[in-house]
Structure 1
Amino acid sequence: MSDKPPQQAQSFQRRIPEDDDRERLVCDACGFIQYENPKIVVGSVVTCGEKLLLCRRAIEPREGYWTLPAGYMELHETPEQGAAREAWEEARAAIEIEQLLSIYSIPRISQVQMIFRARLPKPDFSAGPESREVALFSWDEIPWDEIAFPTVHWALHHWRQSREQEGFPPFINPEEGL
């Protein structure tokens, strides 16, 4: 049993705090502001030889569709560490990050996505708990009609556009994607 007294339930209301310009969740009791900020998604376009690694989602949203190994960045990790962790979690793939490929801003869902170029040194992978299956595809084999998200399309095309380049600036949302 704890020696600490039980904490009171706090009530938060949406309102514009003093000296602010937008609604926030504010505690009625103490005035604490609970900021709601965008989520950072990290992932990678992974190559193994001339093929690309894709994961068929086993979870919503877009269960059953193909995606890159990607997910939310965790506290206390770099974007590169997060992308490598996500590749391991979703595809049991030990990847080597090469460089930042793109940064996509998706304000309608409050996400910033950082996608890296990476390689899989040997074709050793299997489906993790969030994937139904994982496979390597040549460019012409990619199931384009079964891709989960527009950003996956963007990243794959940006990878293809830059695959022979090193040291390029990261790509951003294509004009038609804004």
Structure 2
Amino acid sequence: MKFCSNCGAGVAFRIPPGDTLPRHVCEQCGTIHYQNPKIVVGALPEWEDRVLLCRRAIEPRHGMWTLPAGFMENEETTAQAAARETLEEACARIEVGELYTLIDVPHISQVHIVYRARLLDLDFRPGEESLEVALFREEDIPWQQIAFRSILMSLRHFFEDRRSGRWTVHTASLGPPPPDWR
């Protein structure tokens, strides 16, 4: 950040009085510009013994598979964001269920939230950000082509929980990916 969005003057990166972290502070009007983590919200849509995945038509991870998910918008709840992202990416209608995974990804300043969801019907198709959308049984999931580690973790937990019959909220914190991560 070089300029204040409040008055247009230059900003300095320093610790403001009463704070403990460096922030962009306007030299003219004194506005402190806080930069906070982005929230990524998605759904794990179920239909019988299958889950809905989207093949990405955008970067990052173009051509790889993921759950329908994306950045939360202002003035919506996390559950509303999960339903909206599923509609946008898979043109699918869902009933949002319980919170399923909450994964901190501090090295990229994000928090990933995934809800379990029930597909309301089989009327789905690729949205603008998807090349294709499909239902997968566990054994058919393209595990080596899953786009993001948080999605891989969510899917693995889902199938383990389904086998055990014990559903729980899963939390984790991910560091930077290892060099061999796709």
TM-score, normalised to structure 2, is: 0.88
Q: Secondary structure at the match of 1:173?
A: strand
Q: Shift of the alpha carbon at 1:12?
A: 1.4
Q: Write the distance in 2 (CA, Å) between the matches of 1:87 and 1:8.
A: 38
2:18 corresponds to? 19
**8 A contact 2:7–2:29 mirrored in 1:** no
Provide structure 2 residue ranges, at least 5 long, that are not aligned to the other structure. Answer: 1-5, 176-182
Structure 1 segments, 4+ long, off by >4 Å, are: none
Note the aligned Cα RMSD (angstroms).
Answer: 1.5
Q: How far, CA to CA, are the matches of 1:85 and 1:75 in structure 2?
A: 13
Deviations 1:12-61 (A, max 9, x none): 12111112111101011011000000011110111111111000011111
Identical aligned pairs, as a percentage?
47
Residue 136 of structure 2 is matched in structure 1 by 137
Structure 1 CA distance, aligned partners of 2:108 and 2:154?
18
State the alpha-carbon separation in 2 of the partners of residues 107 and 11 from structure 1: 28
**What residue number does 1:66 align with?**
65
The residue matched to 1:77 in structure 2 has which SS? coil
Does structure 1 retain, via aligned residues, the 8 Å contact 2:38–2:109? yes
1:10 CA displacement = 1.9
Task: After TM superposition, list the pairs within 5 Å mapping 1:25-64 onto structure 2.
Answer: 25-64=24-63
2:87 aligned counterpart, secondary structure: helix
- Post-superposition CA distance 1:95-153 (Å, at most 9, x none): 11111101100000111111100011221100000111111111000001111010111
Unaligned runs of 5+ in 1: 1-6
SS of corresponding position for 1:108: helix
CA distance in 2, matches of 1:120, 1:8: 47
CA distance in 1, matches of 2:7, 2:146: 47
Are the structure 2 counterparts of residues 9 and 151 from structure 1 closer, same or farther at C-alpha, using a change threshold of 3 Å? Answer: same
Shift in Å, 1:9: 2.6
Q: Aligned letter for 1:74? A: E
Query: 1:101 matched to which residue of 2?
Result: 100
Does the 8 Å contact 2:41/2:81 carry over to 1?
Answer: yes
Contact 1:11 1:29 in 2 (8 A): yes
Give the structure 2 partner of residue 10 of structure 1: 9
TM-score by length of structure 1 reads 0.89
Distance 2:69 2:8 in 1: 36
Q: Secondary structure at the match of 1:132?
A: strand
Deviation at 1:157, TM superposition (A): 1.1
- Alpha-carbon distance in structure 2 between the residues aligned to 1:8 and 1:96: 44
Task: Tell me the equivalent position of 1:4.
Answer: none
Deviation at 1:8, TM superposition (A): 5.4
- 1:161 aligned residue: 160
- Measure, in 1, the Cα distance between the counterparts of 2:12 and 2:133: 44
Structure 2 letter corresponding to 1:50: D
Question: 1:85 — aligned with what?
Answer: 84
Counterpart of 1:86, as a letter, is E
* Correspondence for 1:3: none
